[in-house]
Amino acid sequence: MVAALDTHHTFAAPDGPVLVVIADGFGHAPDAESNAISQAETPHLDALLSDATTSRLLLAHGPAVGLPSEGDMGNSEVGHNALGAGRVFAQGAKLVNHAIADRSIFSSAAWTSVVETAGDATLHLVGLHSDGNVHSHTDHLYALIREAAASRVPRIRLHLLLDGRDVPARSALEYLDATTAAIAAIGHDHPEADIAIASGGGRMTITMDRYEADWPMVERGWNAHVRGIGRTFVSARNAVETMYGESDAGDQYLDEFVIVDDDGPIGPIVDGDAVVLFNFRGDRAIEISQAFDDEDFIGFDRGPRPDVFYAGMLQYDGDALIPANYLVEPPSIDRTVSEFLCASDLSSFAVSETQKFGHVTYFWNGNRSGKVDETLETYVEIPSDNVEFNKTPAMKVREITDEVIALLRGGDNDWGRLNFPSPDMVGHTGDLNATIEAIRVLDDCMGALIEVIDELGGVLIFTADHGNADIMFTEKDGVRSPVTSHTLSPVPFAVHDARGDRTWRLADLESAGLSNVAATLCNLLGLAAPDDYDPSLIEPA
């Protein structure tokens, strides 16, 4: 349990509430035709972000959010962890890298059970197939294959989810070639190992749903990986090349496929096998884990559930214990800002639509499900539409805004947080015009929120969790290639304070990141931040 925070010696709480607005995927990049944010008409955001006395940029990638290197793009999971924790914790990719380097992953109880189980059967490795380092990394996949082969696992089957989102839109063949080469090299050292790709499909078509938005998506993956049901091909390369010829869809939207030989599917998951999900990020790993683990599963009709040993790379939900078995211990994030503010008897709300609801709840709260304090917190999830997001670029931004305004005017909350998902989710489609429209709608809603904050005498914090919509394409030799991934861009941070006479100014911090926001929130609520939090972005004027 944490203790209540002390009153700050200089800063006083405003008469109205403090609102934290997280514009998901809203990075800061140079003004260019590829920048959907700068191309959109955004009078309210322009006014907010152009005032150098109340706005600045924050780091949202690499070590600033717990990832291994400056080349690692931030993502919503680690971004919201940092925002809510007030400190930087080593995150998924970094934890797995360490566990592979010191071989602790291979001395874990789960890996021992994987090898023992698969020693008389098949090891199935399921996960996102790229080096995007947001949900997974092919280096981790290769390490698992290599160790399994060295441990005399006789048969290894790969079930590969094509990316095209955290990496270039049509890069699947490059990754398949790299994995084919890795399999050949491992097979040369361990000729007794039978290693092959068994199934796959696009990450936004199969397996990797989140927040229970689209169970049929998980069912399609289950049918392909477990039951060997899906469009059949002689190789993964043949599957991708064929589907490339049939449409302009990026890798993330390609249909499920199953690899067959003369005897049928070469790698369905059956009784006695071992299964490892090699994704390290939690949100899109939970539902497929439930399908393997849960006795009373109701997401879809699984058919006969195979009796397998199932493990995740990490435990994706520490409260719900999903999955029961995992290879690497997840970051232990304690003493989140919500815990401190609940201990200080401050009431709050968290609002988003389904696609990002878990980010302002589960990830914000340090990878824990449920509320910190049922009596002080209100969570509102607005159901997302099950459509391609460039078809409805506003998503539920207007509905989120209406809900938040009602909560602000209700007078029952000292502070609140929301996530606007559209810059990220529409940005991931690679559709520039749709993303520009998403930003325009977001700006309209920001105008409405600022108006209510002024009316109530409150404070608004605007920031983002990572970049995305700020770089929508690259161009070489006159040919544009859509960028559907996150970016390495910093993100904006701005404070709109309805009080005319401010007692604060921006602190002179040479380098700051998302983890500095939590202490700032405490200060704007009139409280001293915890001593071990990263420094506040404001100081006494």
What is the distance between the alpha carbons of residues 245 and 479, in angstroms, rounded to a whole number?
19
93 token code pair:
């990719």
524: which DSSP letter?
Answer: H
Cβ contact 225:199 at 8 Å: yes
Q: Which residues fall within 8 angstroms of residue 147, CB to CB, at 6 or more apart? A: 106, 111
Cβ contact 79:515 at 8 Å: no
What is the distance between the alpha carbons of residues 240 and 201, in angstroms, rounded to a whole number?
9
384 carries an active-site annotation: no
What is the distance between the alpha carbons of residues 391 and 368, in angstroms, rounded to a whole number?
33
What is the distance between the alpha carbons of residues 396 and 354, in angstroms, rounded to a whole number?
9
How far apart, in Å, are the Cα atoms of 70 and each of 60, 283, 535? 10, 23, 21
DSSP string spanning 242-273?
Answer: HHHHH----GGGPPPEEEEETTEES----TT-
286 token code pair:
């939970």
Q: Which of 38, 76, 348, 422 is catalytic?
A: 76
What is the distance between the alpha carbons of residues 66 and 38, in angstroms, rounded to a whole number?
29
32 token code pair:
């260019």
248 token code pair:
């302009």
443: which DSSP letter?
Answer: H
In 3D, which of 521, 519, 464, 460 has the Cα closest to residue 491? 464
402 token code pair:
């209406």
Instruction: Indicate which residues carry an active-site annotation.
Output: 76
